[in-house]
Structure 1
Amino acid sequence: MQNPIPKPTEAELEVLQVLWQKGESTVRDVHEQLTQSKESVYTTTLKIMQIMAEKGLVTRNEENRTHIYMAAVKEEDIQKTLLDKFIDTTFRGSAMKLVMQALGNNKTSSEELAEIQRLLEQMRGKKPS
């Protein structure tokens, strides 16, 4: 049985987003990207990435003096894990409640509604009647 994907903290998720976008990166590369949107200290970024390596969220190539980090988890897998947790805790497991809340709180364009309809029809086609 496969180990469950660890739930990243908000700071870890920010690091993962940089790695998913840029690919293999040094701590300095990640730190420079993160400081574009908020102040951060290099040693904090380093510590976060070391913890992430221990948790299995990133891997580290230590062959050179400068360590290169890579995301060890797929973006889609983290999104699914976080969404499942969010639906369970916020909407008591009801995807319908989530969708109804999302559609009720936002202006949904005709194009978006058509895409949602297409996805629903596609999902219906996959399930046996």
Structure 2
Amino acid sequence: MSPRPPSAKPTEAELAILKVLWELGEATVREVHQALYGDDSGYTTALKMLQVMHGKGLVRRDENQRAHVYSASVSKSATQKRVMTDLVQRLFDGSNAQLVMRALGGEQPPSSEELAQIRQLLDRLEGSDHA
């Protein structure tokens, strides 16, 4: 049976695994486990998590080799968008402005490079409003 298309947003543990897969491209359970924990304990936890994620459609599994190889079936940008949309709705009453003001007014101020990127985005967004 093939996995269903991803619908739920990933849990914190699933996000940690997805980050490994986005970085490596593809990995065996052992490689994911080593990247996350670095030791031999908890291998079965990583295996179970990848099996659940496969069932949810968050990862693909290549079963052609002795050790199954997993890869993310969701992109990092699509996942970021899904998580951020949920966060804005649940925590900021749907207000993107509240989210941005909270993020920029945090303990760690944005760097000059980040501010430049934010200005470029704002200019692009303003330009699309007037087009």
What TM-score results when the alignment is normalised by the length of structure 2?
A: 0.86
For 1:88, the equivalent position in structure 2 comes to 89
Q: Secondary structure at the match of 1:77?
A: helix
Name the Cα RMSD after superposition.
1.9
* Alpha-carbon distance change, 4 to 27 in structure 1, aligned in 2, over 3 angstroms: closer
- Structure 2 segments unaligned to the other structure (5+ residues): none
Task: Verify the 8 A CA contact 2:57 2:73 in the aligned structure 1.
Answer: yes
State the TM-score, normalized to the length of structure 1. 0.88
Picking from 113, 116, 128, the partner of 2:118 is 116
* Alignment match, 1:55: 56
Aligned residue identity for 2:27: S
**Among 21, 32, 35, which residue is 2:34 paired with?**
32
Question: Where does the alignment leave 5 or more consecutive residues of structure 1 unmatched?
Answer: none
Using a 3 Å threshold, how does the CA distance of structure 1 residues 75 and 40 change in structure 2: closer, same or farther?
farther
Tell me the CA shift for residue 100 of structure 1: 1.1
Shift of 1:43: 0.2
CA contact (8 A) 2:59 2:72 kept: yes
The alignment partner of 2:93 has SS state of coil
- Report the count of equivalent residues: 126
Separation of aligned partners in 2, 1:89 and 1:71: 26
Distance 2:27 2:68 in 1: 8
In the alignment, the residues of structure 2 paired with residue 126 and residue 54 of structure 1 have an alpha-carbon distance, to the nearest angstrom, of: 40
User: Which residue number in structure 2 is paired with residue 70 of structure 1?
Assistant: 71
Matched residue, 1:9: 11
Q: Aligned pair 1:97/2:119, yes or no?
A: no
Please tell me the residue identity of whatever aligns with 2:85. Answer: D
After superposition, the Cα gap between the structure-2 partners of 1:91 and 1:39, relative to the gap in structure 1 and judged at 3 Å, is: farther
Q: Which amino acid aligns with 1:126?
A: S
Question: In the alignment, does 2:42 pair up with 1:41?
Answer: yes
Shift of the 72–109 alpha-carbon distance from structure 1 to 2, 3 Å rule, reads closer
Identity %: 48
Q: Deviating runs (4+, > 6 A) in structure 1?
A: none
